[in-house]
Amino acid sequence: MRDLGAGFGQLLKGQRWMARHGRSYGFGLLPGLIALVLYAAALTSLALWGEDAVTWATPFADGWDSPWAGLFRGFLTAVLFALGLLLAVITFTAVTLLIGQPFYESLSERVDRDVSPDGTAPVSGLPPWRELWISARDSLRVLVRAAVWGVLLFALGFLPFVGQTAVPVIGLFVTGFFLTEELTAVALQRRGVELRERLALLRSRRMLVWGFGTPLALAFLVPFVAVFLMPGAVAGATLLARDLLGEDTDEGALTSPPQSPPPSESPAPAR
């Protein structure tokens, strides 16, 4: 239980760090806003034409007596939209991180430098195009894993009672785990930690990961919230990555006012 609270604490610390560095916050909203428009368009299309797709996929129900065909197809349409919404929550982070890769890399490095006792941050040493390729490749692999879980939970949702009680809770924890993986990947990838190692590292501290990711997944279900929490979530995930790797963190840097750069000295006037 302590790890659950510690994970949630890292999430809050990340949001507080972002609030103290407001200059970067506005720019950090742009990737989330772009992703939100894309997902809103996709979900709107699913809502408008999902019933047509279900009708096309169930020709065997054409001869059913009324109202059974309508009820059956209406149920499948609702389930299809719910599945699309679940996949949207799971993949929103990956897509937003991919769109905002350069900024979030810079943000994560800044957090590392701010909280590191020696004021340094790990760097990958890879060219930007290589980092973007690795991020896209790993995100696709995680998406496949998330989709498998989504299909499994979709099937279990038909079970009486269990499908309406346990399955949504399990789905929330699964979503939280994959959200955390995507967010910590920004900091862990800079440290040269490959996807397989990242997953093993997260599984070794599941309670910590769930404490961070599950409340975030719950918050992401509220429209527009994901956009405003994303910059702070990246900052918190950087702190979480340091915790997972056992790196020392200067806690005082999370509470003290940010240091302003020293003003440049003006040259003395010529005489």
- In SS3 terms, 192-247 reads as CCCHHHHHHHHHHCHHHHHHHHHHHHHHHCCCCHHHHHHHHHHHHHHHHHHHHHCC
- Residue 7 or residue 158, greater confidence: 7
Residue 269 predicted with pLDDT over 70: no
- State how far the Cα of 99 lies from the Cα of 132, in Å rounded to an integer: 10
Residue 203 predicted with pLDDT over 70: yes
Mean pLDDT within 11-16: 92
- Residue 93 or residue 255, greater confidence: 93
pLDDT at 153: 81
The per-residue pLDDT for range 26-74, each reduced to its tens digit, is 777 888 888 888 888 888 888 888 888 888 888 887 778 778 877 888 8
pLDDT band of 264, cuts 50, 70, 90? very low
Residue 266 predicted with pLDDT over 60: no
User: Which of 134-143, 151-160, 213-222 is the least confident region?
Assistant: 151-160
Mean pLDDT within 254-262: 57
The percentage of the chain sitting over the pLDDT mark of 90, rounded to a whole number, equals 22
Q: At what angle do helices 68-99 and 206-220 cross, to 10 degrees?
A: 110
pLDDT band of 213, cuts 50, 70, 90? very high
pLDDT at 267: 45
pLDDT at 161: 78
Instruction: Output the CA angle 240-244-247, nearest 5 degrees.
Output: 90
pLDDT at 270: 45
- Residue 267 or residue 223, greater confidence: 223
pLDDT at 263: 46
The overall average pLDDT reported for the chain is 82
pLDDT band of 268, cuts 50, 70, 90? very low
Mean pLDDT within 184-207: 92
- State how far the Cα of 235 lies from the Cα of 114, in Å rounded to an integer: 11
User: Which of 10-24, 90-104, 110-124 is the least confident region?
Assistant: 90-104
pTM for this prediction: 0.76
- Residue 159 or residue 215, greater confidence: 215
Mean pLDDT within 252-257: 67
Residue 187 predicted with pLDDT over 70: yes
